[in-house]
Structure 1
């Protein structure tokens, strides 16, 4: 056997967290069978979207590790297009299930959210004589949740205060009829500030489309179509019967993040301890959170600068003793505190797909060691290399 030597390799990158989202639904509130069907389709679109979010959190940009956190914060705001301003918004303050705040992201959690969405969409239908103004409703709701519009009244103030910081918005306007608002369409376009904080805008309406597609080709003369062009949305017809189109309506998209593969394997001693130091540079200047497996390097507060911003450097603790053994060999890792190890769990190691000449670095981060935060991670490890 060739003698083994060690060398130091440094792997670094930016930690990204899923930013909190507020999904604004402006859906036709007419007391008709056609509008009821549209409300049901929008609810099913929400289900498909949330299931796709779970898939992402447990996928390559998250982790299939059940001992790791899978956090997220998604709020749903239903804005009623026929109601007066004071009664237009339904939020998690009225229906708690409209807030999906989780560290586990399990599929069964989606059903509670869906019950809340279905209840909100059907709770108050348009009353006789009310003017139907989905464009105005959408503009006000979007500007309100993005902070571009000052809240009016106790309910709006409470809503804005309840929303997470650093949030992004998504907007869906879905209708079986045209907007009845009297004003200029351009006046109902959300401000640039609001749009810059909006991931996407979708518009569904009574549009004419070719038989082979659900999306419009030629813009019509309706207010909804003109508005969709101003907000750069690609409208689809509310008469669409293609389930894939509905499933993709609020889809979060895909990302491929991959795993760490290197030219040499990690150096792990007979006790399973890996020769790695893991540092996180975080925006929280107050502390390194011991409950999340972190400590000050060398026992001293350490601060660094990146891009002109001051960050606090925290060391992620490698697990020890029985916790280390569990992290290395148990998929569920029962009772494990936050921290890291080099795992040998087959279900986790098999996820790494490296070239034949490369080796996986199966570093496993338990609990909240790196989840739900923004900053930078720096990994320095000793590797084994033949001479």
Structure 2
């Protein structure tokens, strides 16, 4: 499933829609197809001769390098680029917003910046971790430089905001200089699906990887339905979903009102499960089969949790081994055994040496009897 959609609005105007997670610069895999960065750039060619390009964003972020590539491509267009944030612009998605000549956001949208992070599954020495830290610090500095092309906040202020994982409302994003204009005539609808998912303008965002939850500013003006929503953003809003503020829907209501969204979540869950099993397989050679099976099926855990559990088990086994060894030593009665050493007088020592020499000579087969 593509996370982008390119439309020709008129001969002079084009549109790029970025809804959902921004995928890696590696092959973007989806059910039944391979989507590559080259395909994205091929689609973007249709925007090269436009005088205006509108980019609509509703994304929790994703891969920082993919976002940086999109930012760079938008900056090379001869067209005037207008960014419209239609729900959430978080993490890597905020890098793309900086490519806009103008950036517009509704009061009820959310804008978030935070530090870059990386997930690793391997064994590392201290020097390897130091190199990873240097890499992440370098990426953070690059992101800050990108933000400085849009906002007048100092680099120190931006660094502090990233450290804290800062969520801003649309109004606050304008005040901080990330956005240029507040769209007072639009409304963002959002529903909390569970503790880790939030449905914003009919796009499901998994926020479990973030420390904080977004704050949406309530607005009173109804949002007009848009015809440019792509497959993973269904347009059939129910009356209940358009109520002011946030509400919680039951699972049956979600299935009935948003079948496409449910299918999207199921496909993403399948992919996450495949990746979880693959990561476990990569480290299973050093872990007992019973614990691996438990991690896969009985008490599902990811590779990181499995590795931690294996280390705990090894520590417990080593501790139990030492305990058993000490118990065996105590029960053997060895502590009560004392050694006696009787010293022979000189005459007895001579007899012992003569006897030993005699025995050695008798055993020598080369002697002629």
The TM-score with structure 1 as length reference comes to 0.22
TM-score (ref. length: structure 2): 0.22
Structure showing the higher helix proportion among its residues: 2
Larger Rg belongs to: 2
Larger RCO: 1 or 2 (CA < 8 Å, sep 6+): 1
